[in-house]
Structure 1
Amino acid sequence: MQATHTPRIKICCIASVEEAWAAIRAGASALGLVSSMPSGPGVISESLIAEIAAAVPPPIATFLLTCGQDVEHIIAQQRRCRTNTVQICDRLTSGSYADLRGAMPGVSLVQVIHVTGEESLEEACSVAPHVDALLLDSGNQSLAVKELGGTGRVHDWSISRRIREQVRVPVFLAGGLRPENVGEAIRQVGPFGLDLCSSVRTGGNLDEEKLARFVAQVRA
């Protein structure tokens, strides 16, 4: 898919209605709400995810980040949380994307691909026809305690660019994005969107000055 001129911004690890509105004011078009994960930052309760999702106006996307690999589990989780998008952070092992679409009409599906090497390109191309977008991150599903996001690490952007060039759905880029490297990330990968968490936080809380600096670099 062709690169967009100015990437959309998704702020992940939103922890309150106040943080959601701060991100929206800064220019975010999507918010990440993290449910239970084996590791990583930003986990909040499903009741809080539902509260935040209900307070966010259209057309802002609310992403439920799930580590679920079973379709029935993911469907039940989305029905409790009421987000308009589901970000699947691991590989499906039971059920199909078609099952998710049938049970959740109108809910967008975003599959995370953890870019670890050449094999990630093949995985991305096989999954892309079944989802609305891909999110390329720097986790590792093969560890004893899986990393499914929030690592703060940069992966091989050359592979991410090849994925973006070969799939026909929008691609979000995640993993270690900061004001200092986001310009190079945009030039190298040409993503539809950027996903960030730790680089715009201080003491775990969303830092509006850091966020403004990041957004300024993206728009520059």
Structure 2
Amino acid sequence: MIRVKICGNRTIEDVLLSVNSGADAIGLIVGTKYYSEDKISPDFAGNLLEQIPPLITTVLVTHLQSSQEIIEIYNLVPTSTIQLHNDISIEEIQTIKNLLPHVKLIKAVHVVNEKAIETAQYFAPFTDAILLDSRTNGRIGGTGKTHDWSISGKIAALINKPVILAGGLNPENILQAIECVNPFGVDVNSGVDTSSGDKDPDKIRAFVDICKKARCSSY
């Protein structure tokens, strides 16, 4: 079964639209070091979290690299999962895991070239899932750009952890992406946005529906 995460939710309308469209997980971007038009404050994220219905996975997405800072934000935004979307050391990851043993950790790996295979293998034993994303000089997420899915497919086949595919996904390319990578889940942000950056109802419904059809025919 392909899991679907809708990231970059910045209003309760975004959140409920994602949930009501059948998304399995909701991403809230809090604590950034790179540009993101979807970042929200810890207090506001905590307010959104209170309004998310049960049986939905909630994900705190952060660029922070200090376990202390991440845990401080987590205490304000107590999601079920934390997505570490930057260069963070194994030692800091282990500290988070030790202090928050009930929280699942996702480590983002940027697929710039085949070195991503080694990086994913390095982090996999210390996290619960690996997320494969694209990056640019100024952004480490929400780029709207795809990467080499053949590399992502190799990673998904090699590591013994769930792989979540991200980076430039949208309703037009998601089926091909799933066929190339065979991921555990997919993560979309800008690919289901309107021109103003809000979530687009038609795009989200189309994206989730395609994933569900792929799930039924391929898994």
Q: Same fold (TM over 0.5)?
A: yes
Does 2:123 correspond to 1:127? yes
Instruction: Tell me if structure 1 keeps the 8 A contact 2:31–2:64.
Output: no
1:54–1:82 Cα contact (<8 Å) kept: no
Corresponding residue to 2:65 among 59, 66, 69: 69
Match 1:88 to one of 76, 84, 87: 84
- AA in 2 matched with 1:10: K
Cα distance between partner residues in 1 of 2:116 and 2:64:
20
SS at match of 2:180: helix
Measure how far apart 1:58 and its partner are: 3.2
C-alpha contact (below 8 Å) 1:10/1:194 kept by paired residues? yes
1:53 CA displacement: 1.6
- Of 1, 9, 18, 1:14 maps to 9
Matched residue, 2:185: 193
Q: Offset at 1:94? A: 7.9
Q: Does the CA-based 8 Å contact 2:90-2:123 persist in structure 1?
A: no
Match of 2:110 among 108, 114, 117: 114
| Aligned residue number for residue 217 of structure 2 | none
Task: Please tell me whether residue 204 in structure 1 is matched to residue 169 in structure 2.
Answer: no
Q: TM-score, normalised by structure 1?
A: 0.91
RMSD of the alignment, in Å? 1.5
- Counterparts of 1:34-183 in structure 2, within 5 Å, are 34-37=29-32, 38-93=34-89, 95-140=91-136, 143=137, 145=138, 147-183=139-175
Percent identity reads 36
> What residue identity is the alignment partner of 1:18?
E
Letter in 2 for 1:15: R
SS at match of 1:116: coil
Q: What is the CA-CA distance between 1:178 and the residue it aligns to?
A: 1.2
Segments of structure 1 that go 5 or more residues without pairing to the other structure are 1-5
Flag as ranges the 4+ runs of structure 1 deviating above 4 A.
Answer: none
Structure 2: state its 5+ residue gaps. Answer: 214-219
Contact in 2 for aligned 1:16/1:48 (Cα 8 Å): no
TM-score by length of 2: 0.91
Change (3 A) 1:73 1:36: closer
**Aligned AA (2:24):** S
Aligned to 2:91, the other structure's residue is in SS state coil
